[in-house]
Structure 1
Amino acid sequence: MKNTQPKSLNKGFFLEALEKVIFDVPSRSQEIIKSRYGIAGDSPKTLEEIGMDYKITRERVRQIIKEVFRKIESKEKDDSFRQAGRKIEFTINQNSGIIKEEDILHKLAGRSTKEQNAVRFLLECLENVVSKEIEGELEKSYHTRNFDFSEWQEIKNAAKEILEIEKKVIIDEDFYGRFSKKVDSADRNKFFNFINVSREIEKNSFGKWGLSHWGEINPKVAWQRAYVILKETGKPLHFRDIAQIIDKYKLNKRKTHPQTIHNELIKNDQFVLVGRGVYALSKWGYKKGTVKDVLEEILKENERPMERDEILSRISKIRQVKKSTILINLNNFFEKVEKDKYTVRN
């Protein structure tokens, strides 16, 4: 049967629905619910904190909350409660029957903390909605009671196997393309909705999928963040620019210090200093050493005198350096033969 979306709901609808379903419970119980779920304007409080506020045990707080839930269960025909439930269940069903907590809160409540906390409360009141979290495998999510977890695991494991074989980050189209070759009648939306709740598979800030423990997905240290930035931009960058882009894409919880990036990259063989403060990835073919060292290596490899323009072209592919600097090094340290040709001095 096709889902029918409820009519558009006003901002603050879930908070209003919560107020309506608890209006006839004792005032102290209302205050405890609001404190527990952060509806009163503060952050959600622990059972112990609430107990201290009301001079009762944390177990008694738990009992009061359970009593409120029991009373709400009898209100399944209440219009506000039914509308809230329909909206929540519709959102979950539109997401293939399962959705991360942070995603459903954002979709239903936007950035309003109070509204998000009201949704959290109502989610726990709905008989047909279940919360689930599996350490190391499944993010805290909500799903419908009849959700098929065996199908979820089958799809998630197939996706994980693709990444283990590829051993590199992958874009949406390639990821789904490989999956559709493995699984008959593969539904694109279901595939991405299912892997989105996995703890083992994640999408990075540049829209590419990989295993959660990979450095390109969750870079833990400075050089890993710099590696991701250089790989995604595809060109050498100054260490100050690398630091700025790291912060732009929020790859670091704290502000990135440019000097830290410079200190990490200068000692790491995966990076090459190719200009004044400018770094490239070693695998791009850039060479370490001074301009003189690089020129000498090029000329020795060639085993014959090389024309100036040919030298300039070759060195530009492996170092970022001014033309004048190259010419000064050629004239000072190498032998000029014929017109505009150079070789290594004997």
Structure 2
Amino acid sequence: MVNGNNANVVQTILELPDLMNNMLLLLSDKEKVVINKRFSLGGNGKHTLEDIGQEFAVTRERVRQIEKSALAKMRRNVFNSTLRYIHEFVGDCVNENGGIMNEEKLVEALIDVMPANFAVDKSSIHLALNLHEKLECVGNTINFHPYVRDKSISDYSLKYASGQLVNQMYRYGNIKSIEKVHNDLKDTFEGISFDLTKIKSLIEIDKRLTLLDNELVGLLEWRHVNPRTLRDKIMYILRGEKKPMHFTEIADRISSAKFDGRSVNMQAVHNELIRHDQFVLIGRGIYALKEWGFESGTVAAVIEAILADKKELSQDEIIEQVLKQRQVKRITIMLALKDGGKFERVGRKVYKLRK
């Protein structure tokens, strides 16, 4: 993501827990406790403002003021430490992403420069991010995942752009390319300078939106975008592949997709395919979507439907039509045509429905 020599960044991350402990020496005893508990330093878990307030017999707002004051003290001393190397790195990362970046993605960018299998102290990294002079860390909210933004981007413009994006997706009613969304909202976003890069980053932090294949925008509440039930997941896989699939392959694809982390049972997938009429059996264990034009029924039933539209057809024409609906052998179709109760031979290998 960021070019250049990252040796200083690597060394700083290696020393980060000790570096944070040294910066804590700048604080009063009460401030140290608040920072340790709020940022889960030492692996003791993050405490709420209310929890800490009860411990000190003060209001949650007073705890917030203590935290703010402590961070300001630490922030003023960043220039005296190697923490500036991390800050330069994350500043470049956030800038490359339009000034907005999902915090988890930003932390992963830092981890990527480290030696393989190195255990990074994420609590110390989170605290280090909060000490950046030009960036603001925003915690988990109803509509947004934790993210980091350039302080020059106002909270209002970000929320306004997010609301416009969500409303536009409701108007579409289906997934659209990010280029189309950006183009359709170009006039709306002109006054707040939200270009394509910034919109993509905004989608990555918004809990209501998702980016598919890095180019298609959708709402997570849509089942065809974020499948919930097993049937939804089967539909999602088949629509994505755009071709009939064997039920074992569908089960494998669901497992590898890791929609919700749940394991999937192959037999359960097969049962679901049998149970719902959106899925059509077109061969041995092979299923297609009815919306693709496939009809349920036996090979003989498919032939009946074909001949109902055409008075007479040759054997080869019937076979060609059936193979568009079923993945079976030619001999299976030829044997079905031998059913004298349903089909009548009217010429050399020419058939019609028996009346």
TM normalised by structure 2 equals: 0.79
Measured after TM superposition, the shift of residue 166 of structure 1 is: 2.7
Partner of 2:252: 244
Identify which of 316, 329, 339 aligns with 1:332: 339
Instruction: Give structure 2 stretches of 5+ with no counterpart.
Output: none
CA deviations over 1:143-165 (Å, ceiling 9, x no partner): 23332233323433343343223
Equivalent in the alignment of 2:106: 104
Distance 2:179 2:23 in 1: 52
Q: Secondary structure at the match of 2:145?
A: strand
Distance in structure 1 (CA, Å) of the matches to 2:322 and 2:285: 18
| Residue 267 (structure 2) pairs with residue 264 (structure 1) | no
From the superposition, tell whether residues 285 and 72 of structure 1 become closer, same or farther in structure 2 (CA, over 3 Å): same
The structural deviation recorded for 1:287 is 0.7
Distance, in Å, in 2 between the alignment partners of 1:46 and 1:186 is 34
Matched to 1:342, the amino acid is Y
- In the TM superposition, residue 13 of structure 1 has moved relative to its aligned partner by 2.3
Return closer, same or farther for 1:145/1:70 CA change in 2, 3 Å cut-off: closer
Aligned to 1:145: 151
Query: Which residue does 2:305 correspond to in 1?
Result: 297
Q: How many pairs are equivalent?
A: 335
Return closer, same or farther for 1:76/1:258 CA change in 2, 3 Å cut-off: same
Between the aligned partners of 1:121 and 1:272, the Cα distance in structure 2 is 55
Counterparts of 1:21 and 1:345 in 2: how far apart (Å)? 87
Identity value in percent:
24
Task: Determine helix, strand or coil for the equivalent of 1:139.
Answer: coil
Measured on the aligned residues, the alpha-carbon RMSD in Å equals 3.7
| SS of residue in 2 equivalent to 1:331 | coil
Name the structure 1 match of 2:18. Answer: 19
Q: TM-score by structure 1 length?
A: 0.81
The answer as to 2:84 corresponding to 1:82 is: yes
Distance of 2:81 and 2:322 partners within structure 1: 74
What's the secondary structure of 1:269's corresponding residue?
A: coil
Decide whether the 8 Å contact of 1:6 with 1:87 is kept in 2: no
1:1-346 → structure 2 map (5 Å cutoff):
8=6, 9-23=8-22, 25=24, 45-47=45-47, 58-59=55-56, 66=67, 69=71, 71-110=73-112, 113-133=119-139, 135-180=141-186, 184=190, 187-204=195-212, 208-302=216-310, 304-333=311-340, 334-346=343-355
**Contact 1:205–1:249 (8 Å) recurs in 2:** no
Instruction: Give structure 1 stretches of 5+ with no counterpart.
Output: 52-56
Kindly tell me: are residues 102 and 259 of structure 1, through their superposed partners in 2, closer, same or farther at Cα, counting changes over 3 Å?
Answer: same
CA distance in 2, matches of 1:239, 1:172: 33
* Matching residue of 1:54: none
Shift, 1:35, TM fit: 8.3
